[in-house]
Structure 1
């Protein structure tokens, strides 16, 4: 019997109702199974919708963004920044840079990156086809097709800020710029309760986040998490440009906060020109790129060049972490993790890193929600770093793994890999669960509470060794 129009409509209504019943609380986009499957979930006003990546690509999580990609060495779309990624700290093919007159001193210190990112003329036949806005650019960084591709076919117009740069620019931009690398974060970064995190421990935390969000290939060595500073792309998620380590966006307000922090450090930085344009886009929640002509080139120039490993403006780095530490924004992942470490007397690097990873993976509200469910007694100041802190951390990790496997499974596609990785590092004898590939979360046989390197973890079917920088 052939189905009637009425029966088809009834079936469609039922499917819509079923989809609507699947509530979600996460922010941005999530992979159904990061690095393994091809479905991406989006939380739209509390309702989960999904779509699949093109053939030959996989879903890659970065902070609160997810996109379709193919290569671990191609810079990922951070979107807290993830993810990191989205939420997180990620790598992806990058872009070009052209400098403005107002940034002449900065341009000189990064001239190599600027020259390599120049956009040559070419025929239309050389421009790669845009298969999906979320895919990394498949061409050569800075070639004639790059800008149109990362703009997702959105038109850009010149900035409305015609009074930039001002006649007098206070302060002097730092020169020369250092090369972006594994320790490219502020020396005075908040280290949380107790003994502050060392640079090596911060690098390890950022690297663990990176491998969890970009584990779609084998990797061993110094983790290039820093190459995401210069990431910028409109990934077609309705939030305009997604930018930087964790995926600040031009439509949601966090990139505006970043620009304001940058302005406080360097009033005549070429990116400061776009403050009124980004403010207008953020206020309306617009996905348009109106007024953002030249922004992409400046982001790449400021953030380490096309490869992400070239000269990087230290003020750009500082503004990034000032934003991640700004309690007034939805991107305050680092701030919230270190604040909880002080509130609950958590001094172990493994505790601080776990808090930051959950914040990037689930967003601010996600971390707040799981912390509130912890029933283990928090350690006193005298108990910090000892058995009571480990009991509290163990309770947090158990709740988190339960959340991503049986709660809102759209976070990590219901797979426990990311949670088991951290759990095994903290308590290898207690973490007996196996991940999606049937492996333990890490290879340590004794607790690695100080995050000492090297570390070998197993995540989404890949074994990844993190070496000292």
Structure 2
């Protein structure tokens, strides 16, 4: 699927997730550990440490591909886990293909690996792309309804049947690919490309990507482009000859201010106790071990995936 313009309905900037609460993933075994994709994931309970031990030898970190940024698959995996810690209170982002619920934020259903919304157009794009990849799939019949509810919080033509079929579709690797493609074409690639243009390294690329996921593309004051413009009024990007740390601090200040304009996002921990922690440590390359908190829960990534 070619990247398509991602239009956010007026009055509904794409800040889609509220704090974790009911979305904690109930997949923890008695030992508090589940296996996913070859990695052991210790999911955080409030106040506990969530540790990702990648591979059989967690203590032996792989060499880092310095300078490649999030183009490096290991660093991209870290970015996915960091976003998932804030979006789903879980580091197992691949378990989120099946996630779907209406969180009452005026954007209809929120679903999938980064929270595609029925009211903001990207859920429709995912399902249309799935139809392109696999005509006649289980979700194809909902395309007309998704077109009608776009820009609203309506469930008309969707409802329980759609929720159940979304979860069924999530078992299909083709649908998983459709979600991955939408994430990359609309959010990940544009954010990383803009960060590279601005002269930012791995941490800066991740900071841009996380903002793109929550706020969506666009140039208004609470969308990605508007936040960037606000930051650039305070500090020059490295590409403009500015200091990277100074600029990223300005960007995070602007991001936090945008978050505080909406009650559902008045918890700014994904900035304060995650991204700002890495920045203060001077970890511009986003190298593990990484330790952070989102919504009060503690997480760790010990090694490169």
Alignment of 1:3-402 (within 5 A): 45=11, 64-66=16-18, 69-70=21-22, 72-74=24-26, 197-215=71-89, 223-237=91-105, 239-282=107-150, 285=152, 287-290=154-157, 294-304=161-171, 313-326=172-185, 332-346=186-200, 348-365=201-218, 366-373=223-230, 374=232, 375-380=234-239, 388-401=243-256
Q: Residue 258 of structure 1: CA displacement?
A: 1.0
1:63–1:247: 8 Å Cα contact kept in structure 2? no
Question: How many angstroms apart in 1 are the aligned matches of 2:265 and 2:77?
Answer: 23
Closer, same or farther: CA 236–400 of 1 in aligned 2, 3 Å: closer
Larger Rg: 1
Query: When you count helix as a share of all residues, which structure comes out higher?
Result: 2
SS at 2:227's partner residue?
Answer: helix
1:63–1:246: 8 Å Cα contact kept in structure 2? no
Gap runs ≥5 in structure 2: 1-7, 28-53, 55-66
Question: How many angstroms apart in 1 are the aligned matches of 2:177 and 2:292?
Answer: 30
1:325–1:333: 8 Å Cα contact kept in structure 2? yes
Q: Residue 242 of structure 1: CA displacement?
A: 2.7
Closer, same or farther: CA 74–289 of 1 in aligned 2, 3 Å: farther
Q: Residue 402 of structure 1: CA displacement?
A: 5.0
- Among 454, 457, 465, the residue aligned to 2:289: 454
Closer, same or farther: CA 195–234 of 1 in aligned 2, 3 Å: closer
Where relative contact order (Cα < 8 A, 6+ residues apart) is larger, the structure is 2
**What TM-score comes out, normalization by structure 2 length?**
0.67
> Superposition RMSD on alpha carbons, in Å?
3.5
Question: How many angstroms apart in 1 are the aligned matches of 2:19 and 2:270?
Answer: 18
